């Protein structure tokens, strides 16, 4: 027998599941709450249980542009890599029950579509269960992300660095730049560095976080993450970054660099040092992420300069009902060009 329900972020089922597994901060209920506030959404979790299997999908409910039939919302996951959280791998039979149960729950709760980013290494096995012929369920491949496999020797890892990166790192060391980890007393300095970087890049309001968000990061990363700061030879912070730790993997979350130090690219030294540090912690992979919009832009090329190992960033896309999804897309977007099925680079189609 299987059951599914829409739960609040304070539901004990969420915290109890996380106690059973190694997890990172993307999977915590409070992270979903904070991200929902940033996106003006409602934070929820989709809970599924079948025998000894327990699953939670962190979601943010977003109001549809117009109510359609019984539907009022669509659901998307928080930023980053929350994935589909489970106490063990889902088998093929359980996957079919999971999808069927989710679609029924979505209909009952007025949720037209769901998009959940899969977490590398922990959710990738789901790919083999998704039928390419279905138009109501699909696995979307968004683009490449860079992974540093920390199980290799440090010599092997560094041999993958680009010539330019190795040259810059040697120069930074020669100039007296150095790295320190987990100096939590420098939190405000790191926050100021990040915000000045966003200002220089003319970032949208989304990338300027509330004090509550920063307080949460400060609390969680001291337990489940790392702060890496790069200093110049005058002992001033030039660059820094936050890295999650959990599930045998680390994810680069956010960072910044002082404008005056850009020409030296001090973040290269940060990645150089964090790689060995995480390896000594027996972490298996460091996910650096991809380019803006997951394109192969200069940001992607910068990250790819640390590793030639690429993964595909994937999402599970789900419509409560295939025809309702097509009809709503037609209703809001006008005459459709072709079939707005799920096998598209953009989902849901009506948000295009």
Among candidate residues 224, 267, 266, 261, the one with its CA nearest the CA of residue 246: 224
pLDDT recorded at residue 343: 53
pLDDT recorded at residue 342: 61
DSSP state string for 188-208 = HHHHHHHHHHHHHTT--GGGS
Q: Which residues contact 335 (CB under 8 A, 6 or more apart)?
A: none
Tokens of 10: 């304070």
CA 125 to chain centre: 17
Q: What is the DSSP letter of 246?
A: B
pLDDT recorded at residue 205: 87
Rounded Cα distance between 176 and 52, Å, is 55
Q: Is the dihedral of CA 276, 277, 283, 287 positive or negative?
A: negative
Cα–Cα distances in angstroms (integers) from residue 48 to residues 32, 55, 103, 104, in the given order: 18, 5, 12, 12
pLDDT tens for the chain, 352 residues: list them. Answer: 789 999 999 999 999 999 999 898 899 999 999 899 989 999 999 999 999 999 999 999 999 999 989 999 999 999 988 999 999 999 999 999 999 999 999 999 999 999 999 998 889 899 999 988 787 999 998 899 999 999 999 999 999 999 999 999 999 999 999 999 999 999 999 999 999 999 998 888 888 998 988 998 999 899 889 999 999 999 999 999 999 998 889 999 999 999 999 999 999 999 999 999 999 999 999 999 988 777 888 889 999 999 999 999 999 999 999 999 988 988 888 765 556 666 566 789 888 8
Domains 2-141+314-351 and 151-283 share a fold: yes
Rounded Cα distance between 222 and 215, Å, is 11
Q: Which residues contact 217 (CB under 8 A, 6 or more apart)?
A: 209, 242
Among candidate residues 108, 105, 112, the one with its CA nearest the CA of residue 136: 112
Q: Which residues contact 118 (CB under 8 A, 6 or more apart)?
A: 83, 84, 124, 126, 139, 314, 315, 316
Rounded Cα distance between 54 and 17, Å, is 7
Among candidate residues 114, 112, 117, the one with its CA nearest the CA of residue 141: 117
pLDDT recorded at residue 352: 81
Considering only the top CATH level, what class is 151-283?
alpha beta
Q: Where are the domains of the chain?
A: 2-141+314-351, 151-283
Q: Is the dihedral of CA 160, 190, 248, 154 positive or negative?
A: positive
pLDDT recorded at residue 340: 60
Domain at 2-141+314-351, CATH homologous superfamily: Gcn5-related N-acetyltransferase (GNAT) (3.40.630.30)
In the chain, where does DSSP find H-type helix? 12-20, 29-38, 92-109, 154-159, 163-174, 187-200, 211-224, 267-280, 298-304, 322-333
Kindly report, residue by residue over 23-43, the tens digit of the pLDDT.
988 999 999 998 999 899 999
Peptide bond into 207 cis (omega under 30): no
């Amino acid at each position: 027998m299987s059951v599914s329900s829409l739960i609040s972020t304070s539901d004990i089922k969420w915290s109890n599941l996380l106690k059973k597994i190694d997890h990172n901060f993307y999977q915590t209920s409070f992270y979903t709450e904070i991200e929902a506030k940033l996106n003006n959404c409602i934070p929820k979790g989709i809970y599924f249980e079948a025998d000894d299997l327990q699953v939670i999908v962190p979601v943010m409910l977003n109001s549809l542009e117009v109510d359609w039939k019984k539907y009022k919302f669509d659901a998307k996951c928080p930023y980053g890599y929350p994935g589909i959280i489970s106490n063990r791998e889902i088998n093929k039979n359980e996957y079919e029950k999971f999808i069927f149960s989710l679609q029924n729950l979505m209909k009952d709760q007025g949720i037209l579509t769901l998009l959940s980013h899969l977490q590398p290494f922990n959710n990738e096995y789901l790919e083999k269960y998704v039928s390419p012929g279905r138009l109501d369920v699909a696995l979307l491949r968004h683009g490449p992300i860079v992974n540093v496999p920390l199980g290799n020797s440090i010599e092997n890892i560094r041999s993958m660095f680009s010539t330019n990166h190795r040259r810059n790192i040697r120069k930074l060391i020669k100039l007296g730049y150095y790295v320190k980890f987990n100096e939590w007393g420098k939190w405000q300095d790191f926050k100021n560095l990040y915000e000045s970087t966003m200002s220089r890049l003319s970032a949208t309001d989304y990338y300027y976080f509330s004090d509550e968000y920063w307080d949460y990061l400060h609390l969680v990363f001291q337990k489940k993450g790392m702060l890496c700061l790069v200093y110049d030879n005058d002992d001033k912070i030039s660059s820094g970054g936050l890295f999650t730790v959990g599930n045998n993997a680390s994810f680069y979350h956010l960072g910044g660099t002082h404008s005056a130090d850009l020409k030296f690219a001090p973040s290269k030294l940060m990645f150089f040092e964090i790689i060995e540090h995480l390896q000594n912690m027996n972490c298996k992979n460091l996910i650096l992420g991809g380019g803006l919009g997951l394109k192969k832009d200069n940001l992607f090329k910068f990250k790819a300069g640390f590793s030639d190992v690429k993964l595909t960033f994937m999402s599970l896309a789900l419509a409560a009902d295939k025809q309702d999804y097509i009809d709503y897309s037609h209703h809001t977007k006008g005459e459709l060009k072709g079939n707005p099925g799920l096998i598209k680079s953009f989902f849901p189609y009506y948000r295009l």
